[in-house]
Amino acid sequence: TINGVEFAVRDLDLAAFGRHQIRLAEHEMPGLMALRREFADQQPLRGARIAGSLHMTVQTAVLIETLVALGAEVRWVSCNIFSTQDEAAAAVVVGPNGTVDAPTGTPVFAWKGETLAEYWWCTMRLFDFGDGQGPNLIVDDGGDATLLVHKGVEFEAAGSVPAATADDHEEYQLILETLRTSLGEDGQRFTRIAAGMRGVSEETTTGVARLYELSRAGTLLFPAINVNDSVTKSKFDNKYGIRHSLTDGLNRATDVMLGGKLAVVCGYGDVGKGSAEALRGQGARVVVTEIDPICALQAAMDGLQVVALEDVVETADIFITTTGGVDIITADHMARMKHNAIVGNVGHFDNEIDMAGLARVPGVEKTEVKPQVHEWRFPDGHAILVLSEGRLMNLGNATGHPSFVMSCSFANQVLAQLELWQGEHATGVFVLPKHLDEKVARLHLDALGVRLTELTKKQAEYLGVHVEGPFKPEHYRY
């Protein structure tokens, strides 16, 4: 703590570098800046205590400072051990008007290259706003902050945190350990936090899937807004964002020529579509794997061959997983790949590539080429390159999506936080109403010189919509 601002970041001296980048990002984030202009005077988030668990990048810094500009008190961590930009974290702590010696910004607990134990320690710091107060809102990406509250409440109801078993995943064991020392003196800390919680807004496909699961099981504890399925989020960030940041990560990690290479994209959802387009744009020969006949047909119609991984595992040069599923690339697959094949994941969690299985291959050797780039050599002498240890490589090996597309995502986040704070919502999972989705898009048109056609009254009546929108029915798929 310096000057009353708590933090745990790599190096506060990086703040000036971070501030330059934030300044440039603000110009590229017209949606967030418009929301600041619209709401700063009203301070509609006054009284809100927001716990944010979302990649601590330059773009996220602009989101944090927007929430603060609207009156919220905020604490922040990253939702991935490799995704923090240390200069952005430092700049947020120092704040736009503070100095390294007298920071006046927002508490951040995040640095690039956390251990898993450090990751859960940081996440725990989200819940301590001082004076025994917890957050009353969460901004989540992947659902880890929400998970911690739900597990905390579950164990408080049971009276204790269960012992880990040998079958428990390493990460779950760490969650149990983190909670064992954190339930509070009366063992009711998370129960109190959950009771005061106005809701969570969730950023990504995987986190949203977790929320619907809780909701179906009847164990969701507070309202949740599914930000991912705003059209201006998943059809933009997941697709056009990855189209930028996938190749950025590949280039920074390996600088290998992509043109002419055979690249496999596993999954042809929103992220897969953007990944395939990016690789194709570089002249790679792209093939796709899918389990869903609709997405497989889409890939085929887009001119991509749809294959089974088995068909190409020995001939492809680059493997990218985008499924949000598990065990997509196994240790056996990796053992059969070509020398120096590149393996990377851009799905939310690291279980798409069986890293644990790879480490167990007898005689396999791991060499760090540089942070987040590892050469795994098999006993027969051939090697493969694994990026970011199987975690989101567009954030681990590069700096994630660019500002402009994140302005769309984060404008949805700000509107979702306003909605949760100001509205009355039942416990359940909701998407933002279409007029707000259209508003987010509208806020990004001027910057690109888009001239929108306006419906005449007659045209609007003919289509059965209002002149000012919404323009599409709920079931329209874009």
Known binding-site residues equal 57, 141, 203-206, 233, 237-238, 267-272, 290, 394
Task: Give the integer Cα–Cα distance in Å for 300 and 304.
Answer: 5
Alpha-carbon Rg for the chain in angstroms: 23
Nearest to ligand NAI of 178, 238 (CB atom): 238
Task: Give the integer Cα–Cα distance in Å for 454 and 436.
Answer: 18
The residue within the footprint of ligand NAI, chosen from 346, 353, 415, 418 (CB under 6 A), is 346
CB of 155 to ligand NAI, least distance (A): 27
The residue within the footprint of ligand NAI, chosen from 322, 351, 388, 412 (CB under 6 A), is 322
CB of 312 to ligand NAI, least distance (A): 13
CB of 324 to ligand NAI, least distance (A): 3
Nearest to ligand NAI of 93, 429 (CB atom): 429
**Does the protein bind ligand NAI through residue 324 (CB under 6 A)?**
yes
Annotated binding site for substrate: 57, 141, 203, 233, 237
Nearest to ligand NAI of 116, 297 (CB atom): 297
The residue within the footprint of ligand NAI, chosen from 173, 206, 251, 330 (CB under 6 A), is 206
Annotated binding site for NAD(+): 204-206, 238, 267-272, 290, 394
Site map (CB under 6 A) of ligand NAI, residues 223-242, x = contact: -----------x--xx---x
Nearest to ligand NAI of 149, 242 (CB atom): 242
The identity of residue 406, as a single letter, is M
- Segment lying near ligand NAI (by CB under 6 A), choices 185-193, 263-271, 429-437, 447-455: 263-271
**Does the protein bind ligand NAI through residue 205 (CB under 6 A)?**
yes
Nearest to ligand NAI of 124, 266 (CB atom): 266
Nearest to ligand NAI of 95, 249 (CB atom): 249
CB-nearest residue to ligand NAI: 269
CB of 205 to ligand NAI, least distance (A): 4
Task: Give the integer Cα–Cα distance in Å for 141 and 428.
Answer: 18
Nearest to ligand NAI of 89, 405 (CB atom): 405
Nearest to ligand NAI of 237, 277 (CB atom): 237
Site map (CB under 6 A) of ligand NAI, residues 264-303, x = contact: --xxxxxxx----------------xxxx--x--------
* Number of residues this chain uses to bind ligand NAI (CB under 6 A): 31
For residue 202 the two structure tokens come to 């969730």
Distances (CA, A) of 281 to 244, 258, 259: 11, 9, 9
CB of 323 to ligand NAI, least distance (A): 4
Site map (CB under 6 A) of ligand NAI, residues 388-427, x = contact: ----x-x-----xx--------------------------
CB of 262 to ligand NAI, least distance (A): 17
Nearest to ligand NAI of 52, 324 (CB atom): 324
Q: Are residues 241 and 277 in contact, defined by beta-carbon separation less than 8 angstroms?
A: no
**Does the protein bind ligand NAI through residue 347 (CB under 6 A)?**
yes
Distances (CA, A) of 342 to 1, 53, 245, 362, 370: 42, 29, 16, 21, 15
For residue 438 the two structure tokens come to 């259209």
CB of 328 to ligand NAI, least distance (A): 5
Distances (CA, A) of 89 to 110, 175, 309: 7, 24, 39
Positions touching ligand NAI (CB under 6 A) are: 204-206, 234, 237-238, 242, 266-272, 289-292, 295, 322-325, 328, 346-348, 392, 394, 400-401
